[in-house]
Structure 1
Amino acid sequence: MPIYEFRCTQCGDFEATHPMSTAPKKQPCPVCGEDARKLFSPANLSTLNSPRARAIDSAARTAETPDVHNRWHPDIPPIATLKRGESYRIDCREWFDGAIKNDDSADDIRDAPLNKVHALSGPFAVEGAEPGDLLIVDILDVGPIPQEQGALAGQGWGYTGIFAQKNGGSFLVDQFPDAYKAVWDFQGGECTSRHIPGVRFTGITHPGLMGTAPSADLLKKWNKREGDLIATEPNRVPPLALPPEPDSAILGTLSGSDFDRVASEAARTAPPRENGGNQDIKNFTKGSRVFYPVFVSGGHLSMGDLHFSQGDGEITFCGGIEMGGFIDIHVDVIKDGMDTYGVSENAIFMPGRNGPVYSEWLAFSGTSVTLDGEQRYLDSQLSYQRAILHAIDYLSKFGYSKEQAYLLLGAAPIEGRFSGVVDIPNSCATVYIPTEIFDFDVRPSASGPFQIDPGMGAPKSLNPG
C-alpha cells in the first residue's frame, strides 16, 4: 500500500501517513505555524527535496533558535535523530549568522564577533552509532539558500574577508594586518565581484566544517594541550589558540546550571581536531564520502560554515566565499570501524568528482626563507606563504591592489601543494592559479602585463578599531 506524506512547503516538516489520510489536504504546520502543510501522494513525492532534518528560518537569529550551537561538548543535546541509510536536507547558517553585510565597507569584517562562530546546525544523533564506530556521511548536494535574494550571505551573494590582526589575523597577517572585504555575486554556479573586477569562476561549493562531538576525555585533552600552548605566549596578538569562552556561547537547548558548566568547558569550533571540525577542505564537495570517528553515543554530527568557493588553505582566514545554504546528506554506520580500519583519530574522506575542471595553470613557488633573508629548516608553511606572496606580487603588475590579489587567492579555486619537504634546508611549496578564471591573458608575454581597471577596489576598514 502506498505511503503518503503531509509536508510543509514552507519549512519542510513532514509526516508519513499510511494508508491514505482522511485529514484535510491542507492544514497549519505544527512547526512553523504557516498554513502550508499539504498532503502529497507518491506520484508527486519524487519532485520534493529530501526530508529536512532541520529547516532554519533564514530571517531568525541564532540566539532565537535551539537548532544551532557554536561549541564542541558531549553534553550538548541532539536536536534530532537521523536514521541509518536515510537521506536528509539540513539548512545551515552563514558562520557569522548575518553579521557581515553586502556593502562597500569592511568595518563589519574588522568587528566580526569571533566569539560567536561557528553557527552550526545540529548536533544530530545517528541511530545505532556508538563509540568506536565510523560514521559514514555522503554529501549528496550542497549550495546557497535556494531561490532567495536578500540581505543574508547565501541569498544570491557571499563574501571574503581579510581578518584584522587584533581579530585573529590571516595567513599573511604580518603583510596584511588590516581588515578588507570583497562581496561576490552568484549567478548559477559562477561568481563575480564588484570589488575584484576581471575574474569569473565556478564555485567548488562545500561545507567548511563538519564533525562529531568529542568524548569528555577527548575534550579535556584538547583544552589541556591548547591551554599549554597559550601559556607559552599568553599575550600574543593574534593568540596562539582560543580557550573555552562562555561569552556568546550557544548550546542548543541547554539552560541554567547545565548551560553555565558546559559553556565554561566547551571547545571553540575554530580549529580542526580529531573529530573533523573546521578543516576547510575545498574538495569536500558534492559527491564526497567522509568517515568520522564516533566518540559519544549517537555520534552527535554537526555541520556548517558553507563556502561557495575557496582556495587551498583559506588563506585570508575568512578566506572562502562565505554563505548560508543547505546540505543534503546520507548517513550510515560501520560498527567498530575505528579499530577495523585504524581510524582512531581524524576523519578520512573520498572527495567528490564535481566542480570545475581547469586545464591551464600559472604556478608560483616559494622556499623556507623569510622576507628578511633568515634561513628556516624545512618550514613548509613559510614556503607556502612565500609562494602566495610571489603570486600576489605578480597579479599586482596587472593593476590589482595587493589586497585584491590576496582576496582573490583566498576565494578562487587555487591549488596549493607541498612540493618538496626533504631537501635540507629548504622546503618548497607551490600555488597553482587557473588561468581560465581571468577575463584577460594573465600569462607572461613580450607585450607586458595587460592593465585592468581595478574599479572601486576592495573596501578597507578605515578605523583599525
Structure 2
Amino acid sequence: MTDTIIKVDLSQTPYENDMIHNRWHPDIPMVATVKPGADFIVECYDWTGGFIKNNDSAADVRDIDLSIVHFLSGPIGVAGAEPGDLLVVDILDIGVFPHNSWGFNGFFSKKNGGGFLTEHFPEAQKSIWDIKGMFTRSRHVPGVGFAGLVHPGLIGCLPSASLLETWNAREATLIATNPSRVPPLANPPFAATAHLGRLKGDARAAAAATGARTVPPREHGGNCDIKDLSRGAKVFFPVYVNGAGLSMGDLHFSQGDGEITFCGAIEMPGWIHLKVEVIKDGMAKYGIKTPIFKPSPIKPQYDDYLIFEGISVDEAGEQHYLDVNVAYRQACLNAISYLQKFGYSAAQAYAILGTAPVQGHISGVVDIPNSCATLWLPTGIFDFDINPGAAGPQKMIAGDVDVPLAPDL
C-alpha cells in the first residue's frame, strides 16, 4: 500500500493543519521526507481552503480575502537533493475525494483580483460543477458536459533566500510603477494571513514578513496552471534548497488554456499520487533554469474544433505591436460573442472557456504589427450543434432554458 504522507480534513481550516502553507520561503520546515524512487500520496485542500461553498450565491467569491491563498500541501523533502539538482516528479495518478465530488469556477470582482476579461466581467459570479467519474456538468451552465483532465494548478519547490529576494525586489519595482492600480500589478508579501506550516517563533515572524505570495508562476514552478500535468505527466523542477521542498495544491478537475477567469478552472480538493527521483547537477547539465515537463498521455478525446482568431487590436480599436495578450483576449471575446448567439449569457460562455478543455495557441508572432492567437473550442462538449450553417444558430436546449450563473448577492 502506498503511504499517504499528508492528509487534510475538509471540516477544519488549513490554518489548523501544520502540513500546509500559503507562502514561499526557504525556512519553512519539511513536513515529511522521502527517498529518491519513492512513491506517495498527498491530499490537498482546494486553493481557498474551503471558503467557496456549493450554493447559488457568489457572495463568497466576492468576499474572499485573496491574501490567504494558495493553501499548499508540503513542503516535502527529498533525501540527497541539493541546489543545482533537478527533481523529477512523476504524476502517477490524481483524483477527487469521493465525499466531495463537486468543484467550482468563479469570476472575482475587479476590486478583488479580477480576471483576464475583468473589464467585461467586473462583478463576482460563480458556477458549481458536479463531478461524476470522468465527467462534469453544471446546473449553472446548461447544455454542456465534458471529460475532465485532472491536474495540480500549482506545484513547485522552495526558493533559495537569494531567489526569494530577487522575486520580491522585481515585483516591488513593478508595483511601484502604478501602486494604486485595481486590480494590482502584483501581490507583495503580507504577514497577517501567512501560514508557514511548522515554522515558529521569531523565524516565523521574519518569514511571514518576506514570504512570497503564491499567485504567479516563477522560476521554481508554482502557479503555472498547465492543464496537461495530469496522470502520466513528468516534471523536472530546479532545486534551490537542500531537500528540494516540494509542495502542491490548487487541484483542478478541468481547465481551458489560460485559466482565463482567474478562479478559472473547476477548482476542487483531492489527492495526488507522486513518485520522485533526483538528477544530480541537472540544472547545469541541461541548461535548465525553469521547469520543463512531459505531458500526460491521457487527454479528453475531442477531435472537432471551432477555432476563433484574435489579433493585436483591442476592443477600442487601438493597434498594439505583436501583443499576444491582446490577441488572445480578442480570440476569447470572439468565442464568447459567438456562443451568445446560441442562448448562453456572456458569463456562461466565459465560464465554458475557463473550465472546458479548450486549447489556446500562439499562431503567429512575426507578421507586424499583429500577433495572431487562437482559441480552439471543442464542438463535442455541447449537447447541440454549434457549427455555423445556413439555418442559423439553434438554441442551446429545448425550451430555451435560462439558468444564470450564481450572482454576487
TM-score (norm 1): 0.86
Alpha-carbon distance, 1:256 to partner: 2.1
1:354 corresponds to which letter in structure 2?
I
Which residue is equivalent to 1:194? 139
For the Cα contact (< 8 Å) 2:10–2:50, is it kept in 1? no
SS at match of 2:143: coil
Alpha-carbon distance, 1:457 to partner: 1.1
For the Cα contact (< 8 Å) 1:195–1:455, is it kept in 2? no
Alpha-carbon distance, 1:447 to partner: 1.2
Which residue is equivalent to 2:322? 378
Aligned partner of 1:292 among 237, 257, 269: 237
Moved more, 451-460 or 64-73: 451-460
SS at match of 1:66: coil
2:199 corresponds to which letter in structure 1?
L
Indicate yes or no: 2:161 matched with 1:209.
Answer: no
**CA RMSD in angstroms, aligned pairs only:** 0.8
Indicate yes or no: 2:9 matched with 1:65.
Answer: no
Cα separation, 2, equivalents of 1:197 and 1:426: 36
**Count of aligned pairs between the two proteins:** 406
Alpha-carbon distance, 1:241 to partner: 0.3
Alpha-carbon distance, 1:60 to partner: 1.8
For the Cα contact (< 8 Å) 1:84–1:331, is it kept in 2? yes
Indicate yes or no: 2:386 matched with 1:442.
Answer: yes
Higher relative contact order (CA 8 A, sep 6+): 2
* CA shift digits 1:202-231 (9 cap, x unpaired): 001000000000000000000000000000
Which residue is equivalent to 1:11? none
For the Cα contact (< 8 Å) 1:400–1:454, is it kept in 2? no
Q: Quick one: percent identity of the two aligned structures?
A: 54
2:270 corresponds to which letter in structure 1?
G
Cα separation, 2, equivalents of 1:130 and 1:179: 44
SS at match of 1:72: coil
1:214 corresponds to which letter in structure 2?
P
* CA shift digits 1:264-323 (9 cap, x unpaired): 010000000000000000111110000000000000000000000000000000000000
Runs ≥4 in structure 1, deviation > 6 angstroms?
none
TM-score (norm 2): 0.98
For the Cα contact (< 8 Å) 1:70–1:118, is it kept in 2? yes
Cα separation, 1, equivalents of 2:317 and 2:181: 24
Unaligned runs of 5+ residues in structure 2 are none
Which residue is equivalent to 1:52? 4
Unaligned runs of 5+ residues in structure 1 are 1-47, 149-154
Cα separation, 1, equivalents of 2:101 and 2:113: 27
Alpha-carbon distance, 1:454 to partner: 4.3
Which residue is equivalent to 1:354? 298
Which residue is equivalent to 2:68? 116
Alpha-carbon distance, 1:184 to partner: 0.2
For the Cα contact (< 8 Å) 1:401–1:454, is it kept in 2? no
Q: What are the within-5 Å matches in structure 2 for residues 327-338 of structure 1?
A: 327-338=272-283
Which residue is equivalent to 2:222? 277
Alpha-carbon distance, 1:258 to partner: 1.4
Alpha-carbon distance, 1:104 to partner: 0.5
For the Cα contact (< 8 Å) 1:194–1:455, is it kept in 2? no
* CA shift digits 1:375-396 (9 cap, x unpaired): 1000000000000000000000
Change (3 A) 1:179 1:340: same
The structure number with the bigger radius of gyration is 1
SS at match of 1:310: coil
Which residue is equivalent to 2:350? 406
